[in-house]
Chains A and B, each alone.
Chain A
Amino acid sequence: MRKIKKIKTIKDLEQSIQSQIQARKSEKKSVLTVSAGTCGQARGSLKVIKSLEKAIKEQNLEDKVKIKVTGCHGFCEAEPNIIVQPVNIFYQKVQPKDAKDITSETIINNKVIDQLLFTDLATGKKVSNENNIPFYKKQKRIILGDNTLIDPTDMDDYLSIGGYRSLVKALSDMTQEEIIETVKQSGLRGRGGAGFPTGYKWEFARKTKSDTKYIICNADEGDPGAYMDRSLLEGNPHRVLEGMIIGAFAIGAGEGYIYARDEYPLAVEHISLAISKAEEMGLLGKNILGTDFDFEVQIVKGAGAFVCGEETALIASVEGRVGEPRQRPPFPAVKGLWGKPTNINNVETWANIPLIIEKGAEWFSRIGTNGSKGTKIFSLVGKINNTGLVEVPMGITLREIIFDIGGGIPGGKDFKAVQTGGPSGGCIPKEMLDLPVDYESLAKVGSIMGSGGMIVMDENTCMVDVAKFFLNFLRDESCGKCISCREGTQRMWEIVTDITEGKGKKGDLEFLEALAKATRDASMCGLGQTAANPVLSTIRHFKDEYEAHIKDKKCPAGVCKELIQYSIIAENCTGCLACIKPCPQDAITGELKKVHVLDQSKCIKCGACYEACNFDAIKIE
Chain B
Amino acid sequence: MEAEELKVKSYITKYNNEKKALISILQEVQEEYNYLPQEVLKIVSKALGIPLIDIIGVATFYRAFSLEPRGKHLITVCLGTACHVRGGPKILEEFERKLNIDAGETSKDGQFSLETVACLGCCAIGPVVVIDGDYHAQITIRKVGSILKKHFKKE
Contacts and interface: CB of A to CB of B under 8 A. Distances in A.
Interface in A557-597: 582, 584
A224 B142 contact: no
Contacts of B124: 39, 76-77, 79, 379, 381, 387-388
B123 A381 contact: yes
Contact of A222 (B23, B118, B137): B118
Contacts of A263: 117, 119-121
A303 B119 contact: no
A108 interface: no
Nearest to A470: B81
B64 interface: yes
Interface in B95-149: 97, 117-126, 128, 135-137, 140-142
Contacts of A322: 57-58, 61
B62 interface: yes
B122 A224 contact: no
Nearest to B120: A263
A262 to B, nearest CB: 5
A608 interface: yes
B135 A42 contact: yes
A38 B135 contact: yes
A469 B141 contact: no
Contact of A607 (B19, B82, B87): B87
Interface centre among B18, B64, B85 (most CB of A within 10 A): B85
A38 B142 contact: no
Contacts of B140: 611
Given A42-B136, A322-B58, A608-B142, A304 B63 contact: yes
A507 interface: no
B11 interface: no
Contacts of B65: 303
Nearest to B141: A608
A319 B24 CA distance: 11
B123 A320 contact: no
A249 interface: no
Contacts of A419: 81
A57 interface: no
A229 to B, nearest CB: 8
B22 interface: yes
A39 B136 CA distance: 10
Nearest to B136: A42
Interface stretch (A199-207, A391-399, A453-461): A453-461
Query: Is the interface on chain A under 10, 10 to 19, 20 to 34, or 35 or more residues?
Result: 35 or more
Contacts of B87: 607
A226 B83 CA distance: 12
Interface string A447-465: 0000001010100010000
A466 interface: yes
Given A77-B124, A224-B118, A381 B82 contact: yes
B85 A382 contact: yes
Interface string B44-61: 000000000000011001
A21 B62 CA distance: 45
B70 interface: no
A348 interface: no
A323 B81 CA distance: 23
A473 B57 contact: no
Interface in B16-34: 18-24, 26-27
Contacts of B81: 224-225, 381-382, 419, 422, 453, 455, 466, 469-470
B61 A455 contact: no
Nearest to B87: A607
Given A388-B124, A455-B81, A608-B94, A323 B119 contact: no
A112 to B, nearest CB: 26
Nearest to A225: B81
A291 B151 CA distance: 55
Interface centre among B84, B87, B128 (most CB of A within 10 A): B84
Contacts of A23: none
A313 B149 CA distance: 42
Contact of A612 (B125, B126, B142): B142
Contact of A230 (B18, B57, B121): B121
A263 B154 CA distance: 27
A301 interface: yes
Interface string B78-96: 0111101111001001100
B137 A42 contact: yes
B118 A306 contact: yes
B85 A461 contact: yes
A227 B121 contact: yes
15 contacts: A38-B135, A42-B128, A223-B119, A224-B79, A224-B118, A263-B121, A300-B24, A320-B18, A320-B24, A320-B58, A381-B123, A382-B81, A382-B123, A479-B61, A606-B90
Interface of B: 18-24, 26-27, 57-58, 61-65, 79-82, 84-87, 90, 93-94, 97, 117-126, 128, 135-137, 140-142
Given A383-B85, A419-B81, 5 more contacts: A38-B120, A305-B62, A320-B23, A320-B24, A453-B81
10 smallest A-B Cβ distances: which pairs? Answer: A76-B124, A304-B63, A42-B135, A303-B62, A224-B80, A227-B121, A224-B119, A387-B124, A381-B82, A225-B81
